[in-house]
Amino acid sequence: MIDPAPRARMRALLAPLFELTLQDSRLEGMIAGVIDAGCGERLPIPRFVYRGPTTDLESVRLALFALVHGDEPAGATAIFHLLVTAVQDPSLLRGVDLFCYPVCNPTGFADGTRCNRAGVDLNREFWRGSSHGEVQILEAELRAHRFDGLVALHADCDSPGMYAFARGPVTSDELVAPALAASESVLPRNTDVVIDGFSAHHGVIRDCYEGVLAPPPEQSPAPFEIILETPGRASEAAQVQAALSGLRGLIATLPRLSRGGFGI
Ligand SMILES: [Zn+2]
């Protein structure tokens, strides 16, 4: 028998997002794919796309990912608030097509666990021939849309402050700086020289784990890649505000950088 609680948790997160699509034709909500959650249960991986007002340049395709780890819900809430803000003031996303994946690990979110229901950390599975439906769906999205930039939102219970992984082209560094500066108004930055086992400089790490959610290896030019980490022991409300501020700081910097192109 299917437990109704996980489905209710998913509905509580997604209903306000789909409701928001009724308020602004720029925002579309759809199902990127459906995973088999076992025992006959099927859960969606949703995609919300906000097409900001256009400029004389081609719009930047920015993808946001949250809940890759199912017990880190602040990122999904931050995405919701960002979209609410965009609906109220579309100029916030001028020149940006924003692709949002607020629930990348539906069973983990439903169960309140880091891993998916099969016990696998999805953020070690990308571009390694994974058999997990969540990874296959997201890899297909990454291949189909060829984003100019990727931002994944995470939380780290071992970190006392905000930090970020900046991968890919140098623009990752140029964007992560304003993101962290903006989030610092809410939560402090982790200035340790080693964070999560990696050497760090002023809260920025250039190295990363293998198998994290990333662009297709063959994509050229490579998009910018940022993983924004909130301190997992901070209140969820503070994490949401810090992630939201970080995203807004990053997005505000995009128009200046996009004129030179992002890729390498
Ligand atoms: Zn995480």
Q: Hey, where are the domains in the chain?
A: 4-258
Domain boundaries 4-258, CATH class: alpha beta
Using 50, 70 and 90 to split pLDDT, how confident is the model at 168?
A: confident
Using 50, 70 and 90 to split pLDDT, how confident is the model at 171?
A: confident
**Angle between the N-to-C axes of helices 171-183 and 236-258, in degrees from 0 to 180, rounded to the nearest 10:** 140
Mean per-residue pLDDT over the chain, rounded: 93
* Mean pLDDT, rounded, for 250-254: 92
Burial group, residue 89, by CB count within 10 angstroms (0-12, 13-18, 19+): exposed
Distance 260 CA to ligand 1 centre (A): 31
Rounded to whole angstroms, the Cα distance separating 190 from 40 reads 43
Q: Rounded to two decimals, what is the model's pTM?
A: 0.95
Rounded to whole angstroms, the Cα distance separating 205 from 26 reads 35
Q: How many CB atoms lie within 10 A of CB 130?
A: 17
CA atoms within 13 A on the CB side of 1: 3
pLDDT in tens, 27-83: 999 999 999 988 888 999 999 999 999 999 889 999 999 999 999 999 999 999 999
Q: Are 44 and 106 in contact (CB under 8 A)?
A: yes
Distance 153 CA to ligand 1 centre (A): 7
Q: What is the pLDDT of residue 264?
A: 41
pLDDT exceeds cutoff 50 at 169: yes
* Residues bordering ligand 1, an ion, CB closer than 5 Å: 69, 72, 154
* Mean pLDDT, rounded, for 178-202: 95
Rounded to whole angstroms, the Cα distance separating 202 from 238 reads 21
Distance 47 CA to ligand 1 centre (A): 19
- How long is the chain? 264
Q: Which residue has the tokens 């994290």?
A: 212
Q: What is the pLDDT of residue 259?
A: 59
Distance 32 CA to ligand 1 centre (A): 21
- Residue 61 β-bridge partners: 97
| Rg, the chain, Cα only | 17
Distance 63 CA to ligand 1 centre (A): 17
Distance 23 CA to ligand 1 centre (A): 31
Distance 76 CA to ligand 1 centre (A): 12
Task: For residue 103, give Cα distances in angstroms to 53, 218, 261.
Answer: 26, 25, 29
Q: Which residue has the tokens 């953020």?
A: 123
Which parts of the chain are beta strand (E)? 27-38, 41-51, 60-65, 96-101, 149-156, 163-167, 194-195, 198-199, 204-205, 224-231
User: Terminal CA-to-CA distance of the chain, rounded, Å?
Assistant: 51
Rounded to whole angstroms, the Cα distance separating 128 from 213 reads 11
